[in-house]
Structure 1
Amino acid sequence: MKKLIVRLWRLTSGSLQWRINWLRHATFMVGVTGVVRDKDGNVLLLKHRFWPEGRQWGLPTGYANRSETFEDTVRREVREETGLEVHVGELVRLRSGYRLRLEVAYEAEFAGGTLRLDDFEILEARWFAPHDLPGEMQEAHRRLVHRERS
């Protein structure tokens, strides 16, 4: 039986193999975060409308769209939430999260633009020195700013 399955697998095309694997395996939502810093090392934090009270400050974050690279997700989310442009740098976090969620974070550098908030999702945006982060900040994001392991 195993030999037959292997033989059938090898006879299928790459796209058919991909579809079979996609149906057979878990599909993850991917949350992508950008640790955006300016030339002075300050970090961009957003006060998110839909996050829990007392923990609304955090980094620009959103979900990856289908066929979008994670770097493109960082650029898109920062642009949508703030109107700012960034250069995406190194991957600083990759881990499985709650159930079928994957969490990805990249360092990013402010590249320009004018601050224009998406007032549906974002209440406020400010640049903070890493040693002067707000108390109402997501702890996981605080660790990312300081590059601590979580």
Structure 2
Amino acid sequence: MTPSVRRRKAPLLRRFVGTVFYSLPHPMRRRIVRIATPTYTLGSVVLVMDEDRTHLLMLKQPPGKRWSLPAGLLNRREQPVEGARRELAEETGIEADLAELLPALPNAVVHTNGRWVDNVFRLVRDPETTEVLVDGHEVWDAAWHPADALPDMTRATAKLLSHYGLGPLADSDPAAEPPASA
């Protein structure tokens, strides 16, 4: 026996608009949807820390007043982990296999009223043996900082790190916990 489905009648104006919209050619409908719906900025961030999570790699980028993390926007159709690996290599010279970039917990952090979403990954590297190479143009400086004494950082970086119990805003997020181990 199948359950009965009750349907509400849509208001007359809504039915009219729907009829007109669905009678338009598909490319035109797609364009209207893209104009009318919100857009999101998607990026990837890498938390590069030592095995004991006592040091964090941070970058100083133009305009160079505060520190941030290896990160960047995703290219069209690029998977978040691939974007994380690409940005990490571009900004620090550190090469990582995709399998080494583990999702942080939480893996996605939403900023600025839901319009900007960062996919966050973890990478374990030894500060003593990891060579970091910056280009001086996109990244001015890179340094390992003690996780319990991080430098002055951008507001977005501080908010992101608070989700992992790090940085100056860590105490303001009661749900914060350190990045999970694999």
Given the two structures, how large is their TM-score scaled by the length of structure 2? 0.60
Gaps of 5+ in 2: 1-12, 177-182
Work out whether 1:40 is the aligned partner of 2:56.
Answer: no
Higher strand share: 1
**Structure showing greater relative contact order (alpha-carbon pairs closer than 8 Å, 6 or more residues apart):** 1
Work out whether 1:121 is the aligned partner of 2:138.
Answer: yes
Find the counterpart in structure 2 of residue 106 from structure 1.
Answer: 120
Question: CA, structure 1 residues 7+79, in 2 after alignment: closer, same or farther (shift >3 Å)?
Answer: same
How far, CA to CA, are the matches of 1:137 and 1:31 in structure 2? 18
Matching residue within 138, 143, 150 for 2:162: 143
How far, CA to CA, are the matches of 2:81 and 2:116 in structure 1? 15
CA drift at 1:15: 7.8
Gaps of 5+ in 1: none
Q: Contact 2:59/2:139 (CA < 8 Å) preserved in 1?
A: yes
CA drift at 1:80: 0.5
How far, CA to CA, are the matches of 2:109 and 2:123 in structure 1? 19
Find the counterpart in structure 2 of residue 69 from structure 1.
Answer: 79
CA drift at 1:39: 2.0
Question: What is the percentage of aligned positions where both structures have the same residue?
Answer: 23
Work out whether 1:60 is the aligned partner of 2:40.
Answer: no
Partner secondary structure for residue 143 of structure 2: strand
Q: Contact 2:43/2:80 (CA < 8 Å) preserved in 1?
A: no
Q: Deviations over 1:51-101 (max 9, x none)?
A: 5x2xx2121122222212222222111110001134132344421416x84
Provide the aligned C-alpha RMSD in A.
3.3
Matching residue within 8, 28, 32 for 2:40: 28
